[in-house]
Structure 1
Amino acid sequence: MPSLLRHHRLKLFAVLLAANLALLLHLAAGDPIPPRDWVLLDIFGEGGAALLALAWLGLVLKSRPAGRVTNLLTLGLGCVFFSWWTDCLDEFIRLPEQVHWDHWLESVPMPLGLLLLTYGLYHWHHEQLAISAQMEKRERLFREHLLFDKLTPLAGAGYLRRQLQLSLAESVREGQPLSLVAVDLDHFDAINQRFGHAEGDAVLQAVTQLLLLNLRRQDLLCRLAGDRFVILLPHTGEAQARQLAGEMALAVEHLAHKTRQHGERLPLSASVASAMALDEDAEQLLRRLNLALARAKQSLALSA
């Protein structure tokens, strides 16, 4: 968790910088109020609210990765903190009557911050729903699947073939399309050679979680062998499968995986292929998928 806070230190620095600039601005334009004239109830109320907003901001930055939702929550809480902070400054510094900009500093950031917070919480809600659905999918996977890969853990090649045969029969019976997508990491052997097999295993686990998060509830992800994954897509035609394969390749390419030892970001990419089921059995469909993947990797090698 502390490492996440380090990633967000610029955001925290910007909030504290804005608070200090407001303090300097008040000191330059006004005069300090003697302690005997302080209103302790207002100080505790407004100052305590500002400190709570700052504490909430710290908790958000400590527990969340970078992204749009984190940025919205940070901006919202930063504005709320700034509004309460400038309101609290009036309890210590008396500004001349002709000064009006302090009202803008106190009033404008608050509704803006609350709007940003609301928008951020809305997206956070949808993010949590997606995570809950993924957890439900994983629980179902653990409960129902018997043939697991020990590393990821995903169903292996044996389960994929059994499930594919059942899905093909169901596809024919219901008259619905069925497709497969293969995802094969590029230059995975180089990662094992340079960083060791433990780091290679960590990459496979990270890619597994990434692929799972990008699937639908009815899809099935299996680890076929090594660094090759196969996704079973019920009720999915050729065009949709090809589009999903491209999305998987982009997701792997944008995965910000860092080595455990040195924190070095590993550039990842994947070759993908898709195949829609025709009048064939499971082995024939898998063979055609593997041929399409081999052509994709050959094209990558020629373009390199």
Structure 2
Amino acid sequence: MPSTFALHRFKLAGLLIAANAGLLLHLLAGEGKPVAAWNWLDIAGEGGSAVLLLIWIGLLLKSRPAGRVTSLLFLGLACLFFSLFMDMVDEFVAMPDAVRWDGWLESGPMPVGFTLLTLGIFHWHREQLAINEQMRNRERLYREHRQFDKLTPLGDARYLRAQLQSMLAEARAQHQPLSLIMLDMNAFNRVNREYGQAEGDRVLQVLTQLLLLNLRQHDLLCRLAGDRFVVILPHTGERQARLLAAELAEAVDSLAYKSSGQGERIELSASTVALMARNEEAEPLLERLNIAMARAKHSLTVRYG
């Protein structure tokens, strides 16, 4: 079983324990049916459906990180699997007429499973809509294909400079404030060193989605270089930009990122700085932003050694 399943081993173990407990209850309370009494059509239909649900569960747990949406989808599929599995067991074990709980085991989890699965799909749908809306706006308003970062779905440094110059001119013409946020990961080289370059790339991809979900639709996020990102904030003063920067740093700190190898949590944190544009061009503004980040990094080094 792929190592990513280690993230969900308790879910899988719980499902197997529940299925085996139901089977054991049937064996203790009932008697095995002779082969001649087996209904092969029901066995194939119920058993085949249960196997397909196990495959769905495997694909789900392999492709999604732990979280509320994953848990809802898993619990919904698990209830459907358990119900079909109990239906299949009933084809092999005859239960006394006085026993009624077997009907609850066969039919009870089914509506619960569909309800949980519906909730999971609903929240997954909203999650995808939020990400797609962010990406669609950036494609429509900002992105040019020749200035596209190879790792993340963001504009690169050259694209950032071109857009910043244009938006500065627009802000001056409209007499509107424009601010920038720079976000730089703390000790990110440790991730590459301890977990490998592929894991570091995966962290940056997950981080990109996280930042997009925590920005407004008209903000522009670009990858400046490595683990450093810049956000252009149109119609935004410095005070509001500082609040947004703090929210981004807090979102990174709260990210429960699990490694793709052993599934352990990788602690992540970021330094952020924010400032408002003065009457200046793109390059002096970015230089001032870099100096502010260097000071923030220096203060962090002095504080924690």
- Short-chain TM bin: 0.7 to 0.9
In structure 2, the residue matched to 1:50 is 50
| Cα distance in 1 between the residues matched to 2:203 and 2:127 | 19
Structure 1 window deviating more from structure 2 (276-285 vs 10-19): it is 276-285
Q: Secondary structure at the match of 1:8?
A: helix
In structure 1, the residue matched to 2:24 is 24
Displacement of 1:271 after TM fit? 1.0
In structure 2, the residue matched to 1:11 is 11
| Cα distance in 2 between the residues matched to 1:27 and 1:150 | 57
In structure 1, the residue matched to 2:292 is 292
Percent of counterpart pairs with the same letter? 57
The 5 A counterparts of 1:242-261 are 242-253=242-253, 254=255, 256=257, 258=259
In structure 1, the residue matched to 2:186 is 186
Contact 2:142 2:163 in 1 (8 A): no
In structure 1, the residue matched to 2:123 is 123
Gaps of 5+ in 2: none
| Cα distance in 2 between the residues matched to 1:168 and 1:25 | 71
* 1:211 equivalenced with 2:212 (yes/no): no
Q: Secondary structure at the match of 1:62?
A: helix
In structure 1, the residue matched to 2:108 is 108
Partner AA of 2:61 in structure 1: L
In structure 2, the residue matched to 1:82 is 82
Contact 1:148 1:154 in 2 (8 A): yes
* 1:177 equivalenced with 2:174 (yes/no): no
* 1:66 equivalenced with 2:66 (yes/no): yes
C-alpha RMSD of matched pairs (Å): 3.5
Displacement of 1:277 after TM fit? 2.7
Displacement of 1:62 after TM fit? 2.9
Displacement of 1:185 after TM fit? 2.4
Partner AA of 1:113 in structure 2: G
Q: Secondary structure at the match of 1:24?
A: helix
In structure 2, the residue matched to 1:220 is 220
Displacement of 1:235 after TM fit? 3.1
Classify 1:141/1:195 alpha carbon distance in 2 versus 1 (closer, same or farther; 3 Å).
farther
In the superposition, the TM-score normalised over structure 1's length comes to 0.80
Classify 1:135/1:19 alpha carbon distance in 2 versus 1 (closer, same or farther; 3 Å).
same
Classify 1:44/1:202 alpha carbon distance in 2 versus 1 (closer, same or farther; 3 Å).
closer
Gaps of 5+ in 1: none
Displacement of 1:28 after TM fit? 0.9
Contact 1:179 1:276 in 2 (8 A): yes
Q: Deviations over 1:126-157 (max 9, x none)?
A: 23334444664676699615456677685454
| Cα distance in 2 between the residues matched to 1:99 and 1:34 | 20
| Cα distance in 2 between the residues matched to 1:184 and 1:281 | 23
| Cα distance in 2 between the residues matched to 1:3 and 1:224 | 33
In structure 1, the residue matched to 2:34 is 34
Classify 1:30/1:242 alpha carbon distance in 2 versus 1 (closer, same or farther; 3 Å).
same
Q: Which has the higher contact order (CA 8 A, sep 6+)?
A: 2
Contact 2:4 2:260 in 1 (8 A): no
Q: Deviations over 1:79-108 (max 9, x none)?
A: 111112222222222222222222221222
| Cα distance in 2 between the residues matched to 1:89 and 1:151 | 49
| Cα distance in 2 between the residues matched to 1:279 and 1:142 | 23
Partner AA of 2:257 in structure 1: A
Q: Secondary structure at the match of 1:274?
A: strand
In structure 1, the residue matched to 2:269 is 269
| Cα distance in 2 between the residues matched to 1:221 and 1:5 | 32
In the superposition, the TM-score normalised over structure 2's length comes to 0.80
Classify 1:239/1:21 alpha carbon distance in 2 versus 1 (closer, same or farther; 3 Å).
farther
Displacement of 1:121 after TM fit? 0.8
Displacement of 1:163 after TM fit? 2.1
Partner AA of 2:92 in structure 1: F
| Cα distance in 2 between the residues matched to 1:63 and 1:150 | 22
Contact 2:151 2:205 in 1 (8 A): no
| Cα distance in 2 between the residues matched to 1:279 and 1:70 | 48
